Amino acid sequence: MIDDLIRLAEKASNLLLNTAADSKHVRVISHSDADGITAAAIISTALFRSHIPFHTSLVSRFDESVLDVIKSSTADLVVFCDMGSGQPELVDRIEEEVVILDHHRPVGEHSCIHVNPHLVGFDGSFELSASGVAYFVARAMGENTDLSSLAILGALGDKQSMIGANRFILDEAVSSGAVKRDYGLMLPDGDLHNVLFGSFEPYFEFSGNQEMVNEFLSQLNLSGKISALNNESLRRLASALVLMLLRSGSVEAIGSLIGEKYQLAHEVIIDASELLSIVNACGRLEEPGLALSLCLRDKSMLEDARTLEREEREKLIETLKKAREEVCEEDHLRYVALSDIRGTGEIAGTMARYVFPDKPFLARNPCKNRADSTCPGQPANNREQNRGEWSWRPLQG
């Protein structure tokens, strides 16, 4: 199946590379979540390295407004990432050549080049994400093995398993040095108190409570940076955190606390969990272009992105605390009605995994209204960035 996927990716790669010879312009349109952002970064980088002018847009959905954007552009070829497989009727209305790089189950027939794991026997739900599809195309375009780390990041963003085609990418990433694997606590490095205080995934009963965190660490006689803890201290910390999750009934959530960790050698942030948290926050805040900049390895706004992520995480924790007080319980489920907040899905998921794991949980947010995602930035040299847009063209002369 891997060979079939590689051959399918090569068809897309050949079409993209031919645009360079014909001096054509490529429009990349991708979903504004973590998987879509990393997929866009992979393809954008591969196009840049192949000297192909491109313009990348990040959107929250594929609808009529996207068709209007394409009509107003000068693109000769359109690449969809993390979307398109389920909207053949919209794709057919595009006059330009189209390539779809997606992992969602296809609907209907597509006349364009369509790279999708479902077409070759992989399950796109957990064996290959859109960023992985984009990576297979990028690796066929040239020496782009270093981009495998972004494919792994996108798969983690979609909560996929490292099996199937994802395992192929991970093995290639490790062997090339792009990714380093480790096993241990799934917590970012940093001051122990700050990390536990601001932890949302995983979520603990003391998250967002200074006094409770102080008491917890005092009982364990632990302090300092997580990376500085010796093995005995790490075991003590892990045991205490596991017991806390067990007390709340979050048996399955323990898998989010202890497991395989990834270090990304070529990215602006080495720790995969930290970078993913930032990318997710940018998506929720409708600032995906900031995340795209980071995935394009631009460090200029890294500290701004870290601040944004920390503030958003703290707001999520406060929202979850308030939501807990308004939870309603029925015989077979629990639910809460929220009012026009970001992160409804994150609140519901955290409630179901860490707070009330014994019943299904529903979070309802009738006032939620998210516009197409865009993000801030300033032009630099021959790059142009405007909220959810990023374009590149060769310098004249």
The predicted-structure confidence for 26-76, as pLDDT tens digits, reads as follows 999 999 999 999 999 999 999 999 999 999 999 999 999 999 989 988 889
Q: What is the domain partition of the chain in residue ranges?
A: 2-177+373-392, 184-304, 318-364
Hey, is 159 helix, strand or coil?
Answer: coil
Q: Which percentage of the chain shows pLDDT scores above 90?
A: 64
Q: At what angle do helices 34-49 and 130-141 cross, to 10 degrees?
A: 10
Residue type present at position 136: F
Residue type present at position 334: R
The predicted-structure confidence for 159-216, as pLDDT tens digits, reads as follows 999 999 999 999 999 999 999 998 888 888 889 999 999 999 888 999 999 999 999 9
Q: Which residue has the higher pLDDT, 202 or 141?
A: 141
Q: What is the dihedral of CA 240, 244, 246, 251, to 10 degrees?
A: -90
Say how many C-beta atoms besides its own lie within 10 A of residue 191's C-beta.
13
Q: Is the pLDDT of residue 256 over 80?
A: no
pLDDT for residue 158: 94
Q: Is the pLDDT of residue 265 over 90?
A: yes
The CATH code belonging to domain 2-177+373-392 is 3.90.1640.30
pLDDT for residue 8: 96
239 Cβ neighbours under 8 A, 6+ residues apart: none
Q: Based on the number of CB atoms within 10 Å of its own CB, is 347 exposed (0-12), middle (13-18) or buried (19 or more)?
A: buried
pLDDT for residue 367: 54
Q: Is the pLDDT of residue 343 over 80?
A: no
pLDDT for residue 139: 97
Hey, is 80 helix, strand or coil?
Answer: strand
pLDDT for residue 202: 86
Quote the tokens at residue 201: 């995934």
Range picked from 70-74, 141-145, 331-335, 382-386 for highest mean pLDDT: 141-145
Q: Among 112-116, 267-271, 285-289, which is the least confidently predicted range?
A: 285-289
pLDDT band at 388 (very low <50, low <70, confident <90, very high): low
The predicted-structure confidence for 276-290, as pLDDT tens digits, reads as follows 999 999 988 889 999
Say how many C-beta atoms besides its own lie within 10 A of residue 112's C-beta.
19
Tokens 């990433």 belong to 173
